[in-house]
Amino acid sequence: MPFANMRDRLIYLAVWFACLGPILWFIFQGFTDDLGANPIEYIIRQLGVWGLRLLMVSLAITPAAKLLRQPRLIRYRRTVGLWAFAYIALHLSTYVGIDHFFNWPEIGKDILKRPYITIGMTAFVLLVPLAVTSTNGMLRRLGPKNWKRLHQLVYVIVPLGVTHYYLLVKKDVRPPVVYGVIVTILLGYRLYAWARQRRERALKAAAKAAA
Amino acid sequence: MLIRSAPDLRDCDVTDRGLYLRRREFIYGAGALAAAGTLGLSAAEAAPLKVAKKTNLAGDEKPTSLKNITSYNNFYEFGTGKEDPAANAGSFKTRPWTVVVDGECMKPMRFSIDDLTKRYPLEERIYRMRCVEAWSMVIPWVGFPLASLLNDVQPTAKAKFVTFETLNDPKQMPGQRDRTLDWPYREGLRIDEATNPLTLLAVGMYGETMPNQNGAPIRLVTPWKYGFKSAKSIVHIRLQERQPATSWNLANAHEYGFYSNVNPEVDHPRWSQASERRIGEFFRRKTLPFNGYADQVASLYRGMDLQKNF
């Protein structure tokens, strides 16, 4: 465990179990015959939705840490991000291994022909390098600058995830639209912070030049 | 004196004669209610129906459980989630209920739901039901052929199409408070489709009156078409000359055609229709042309390009 003091360890455990919670809940529902009439579809959708939610939580951690002046929050970002990856990997495995039972020609056609699946697959493929480079060793090898640049891919991945969701909904698009609005706010905040930083730098440089 | 009058019994304590004579029905009803209760149906509506004839048109395929049929529904009038209709249709009032049949016919008529079930002998038909979302069920419907009803109103030569309209009542149907579809829900058939012997007006399933979430008290069943063609909770049937505008076609003409015959060769633009998941089964099944009813209905579409007329 990466945390020295007891309090941080407890928080870490709480975050870990909060992320595990939905899976435990599905298992419980499975044992109590509570997954509904179409359990395969239910599980696939739930895993996908929870993967997206956790990605959004991981996106919210940075602004939250800044706005609340709690830089320690950043430490939990990786845990949440990796859990998001776990949910999305399970989401994809359930689609491949259970929904289509490894019917590769059918799955291949889906990926090429169905925009929502093409987009979902793209998002997953982009997510893999982020999961692989999540270790401290990889961070050191890449160097913080490259590592950060690589992990900014998540700004592309999350909107792809929301689009994937939006495109598969038959008619009632309200839930994916709500997610879209939240993601827009989370990414909009970054754009705003970035623009402000640039302006401040330019002002400082101008002040220096004047002096 | 041992013989005592019974001062605690008054006139109003005596069971009404009519009620007394119907005491067995009452016990029947109570039994059905208890059964419905254990199945998770809203108790008020399930009553046994007398069935004159039974036909199995789903081969040796096992009917889907009543629990699954009544808990996984697309009935947007009660919400867009699959569990919403079961959750929100419990207090839906299906009696009194009037069905108006008019338009291009010699004898327009109005029926109460009970007139209909008395007038037309009810039969059980076990049909496959294929949803446009690529899942399917096997359902033992109880109803009567739409052809019998249309025959009685005497369609004119101008009656080329039939439209079906669902009740429009946002007070009772919370889903109608949102503009997810253009209410009231409307569906339509060509007259030869409507009079095909497979086309059923269903008033029940599994030998009892229709559960609210499945389209009580009366709905259409066209087993060779995607499920959304079968309008639920019908109040108006109209014969007309022009092809009617239909709800899902209005919502997205590119994805939902007027015919909407089950066809594994014509994909939904966003997903494949080649296979389906039968509710209750693990492996997908191959989807059959006309949902396996080609022998009965393929002739209706002879010479038509089904890729275009999807």
Residues of B with CB under 8 A from a CB of A: 67-68, 71-72, 76, 80, 82-83, 133, 135, 180-181, 251-252, 267, 270-272, 274-275, 277, 279-280, 282-284
On whether the CB atoms of residues B191 and B143 are closer than 8 A, the answer is no
Which ipTM value was assigned to this complex?
Answer: 0.84
Extended strands (E) in B25-172: 53-56, 98-103, 109-112, 123-130, 135-145, 161-166
**Tokens matching residue A117:** 């699946």
Range(s) of the domain holding residue B75: 48-301
The DSSP secondary-structure symbol of B177 reads: G
Distances (CA, A) of B70 to A37, A40, B84, B117, B139: 9, 18, 11, 22, 11
From CA B224, how far away is CA B58, in angstroms rounded? 12
Closest chain B residue by Cα to residue A166: B270
Residue B232 sits in a domain whose CATH number is: 3.90.420.10
pLDDT at B42: 46
3-state secondary structure string across A5-16: CHHHHHHHHHHH
Of the candidates B30, B206, B213, B231, the residue with the CA atom closest to the CA atom of residue B125:
B206
Extended strands (E) in A44-203: none
Please name the helix (run of DSSP H) or strand (run of DSSP E) that holds residue A174, with its range, or none.
Answer: helix A174-210
Contact A37 B277 (CB under 8 A): no
pLDDT at A173: 92
- Kindly report the average pLDDT of chain B as a whole number: 90
Task: Show residues of chain B in contact with A171, CB under 8 Å.
Answer: 76, 80, 180-181, 251-252
Test the B interface: residue of A117, A170, A173, A174 with most B CBs within 10 Å: A170
Domain extents for chain A? Answer: 37-210
pLDDT exceeds 80 at position B29: no
pLDDT at B299: 96
From CA B85, how far away is CA B68, in angstroms rounded? 13
Which of B82, B270, B275 is nearest residue A116 as measured by Cβ atoms? Answer: B270
Contact A41 B80 (CB under 8 A): no
Report long-range pairs for A88-97 (Cβ below 8 Å, ≥24 apart).
A88/A47, A88/A48, A88/A51, A88/A55, A88/A123, A88/A124, A88/A127, A88/A161, A89/A124, A90/A23, A90/A47, A91/A44, A91/A47, A91/A48, A91/A51, A92/A120, A92/A121, A92/A124, A94/A40, A94/A43, A94/A44, A94/A47, A95/A44
Distances (CA, A) of B94 to A20, B78, B90, B122, B194: 45, 14, 11, 19, 24
Contact B271 A114 (CB under 8 A): yes
**Residue B215 Rama label (left phi>0; alpha psi -120 to 50; beta):** left
pLDDT exceeds 70 at position B36: no
Residue in the block written with tokens 């009696």: B95
Q: Is A4 exposed, middle or buried (0-12, 13-18, 19+ CB in 10 A)?
A: exposed
Q: Is B93 exposed, middle or buried (0-12, 13-18, 19+ CB in 10 A)?
A: middle
pLDDT at B267: 92
Tens of pLDDT along B148-178? 999 999 999 999 999 999 999 999 999 999 9
pLDDT at B38: 45
Tens of pLDDT along B248-306? 999 999 999 999 999 999 999 999 999 999 999 999 999 999 999 999 999 999 999 99
Contact A172 B180 (CB under 8 A): yes
Contact A40 B277 (CB under 8 A): yes
From CA A25, how far away is CA A183, in angstroms rounded? 26
Q: Which amino acid is at A110?
A: D
Tens of pLDDT along B282-295? 999 999 999 999 99
From CA B84, how far away is CA B72, in angstroms rounded? 9
Residue with the bigger pLDDT between B174 and B9: it is: B174
Task: Give B303 to chain A, closest Cα distance, Å.
Answer: 29
pLDDT at B21: 53
Contact B181 A41 (CB under 8 A): no
pLDDT exceeds 90 at position B37: no
Structurally, chain B folds into a number of domains equal to 1
Task: Give B203 to chain A, closest Cα distance, Å.
Answer: 23
Task: Give A155 to chain B, closest Cα distance, Å.
Answer: 26
On whether the CB atoms of residues B123 and B169 are closer than 8 A, the answer is no
Low-confidence spans in chain A with pLDDT less than 70: 1-3
Q: Which residues contact B276 (CB under 8 A, 6 or more apart)?
A: B130, B134, B135, B136, B284, B285, B287
- Phi and psi torsions of B221, nearest 5°: -135, 115
What percent of chain B shows pLDDT beyond 90?
A: 83
Query: pLDDT grade, residue B18 (50/70/90)?
Result: low
Test the B interface: residue of A42, A117, A171, A173 with most B CBs within 10 Å: A171
Task: Decide: helix, strand or coil at residue B211.
Answer: coil
On whether the CB atoms of residues B166 and B101 are closer than 8 A, the answer is no
From CA B58, how far away is CA B40, in angstroms rounded? 26
On whether the CB atoms of residues B175 and B84 are closer than 8 A, the answer is yes
Task: Give B139 to chain A, closest Cα distance, Å.
Answer: 14
Tens of pLDDT along B88-113? 999 999 999 999 999 999 999 999 99
Relative to beta strand B98-103, strand B234-240 is parallel
pLDDT at B40: 44
Whether B3 is covered by a domain: the verdict is: no
Q: Which residues 141-180 in chain A show a CB within 8 A of chain B?
A: 167-168, 170-172
Residue A40 contacts B, CB cutoff 8 Å: yes
**Tokens matching residue B49:** 């129906």
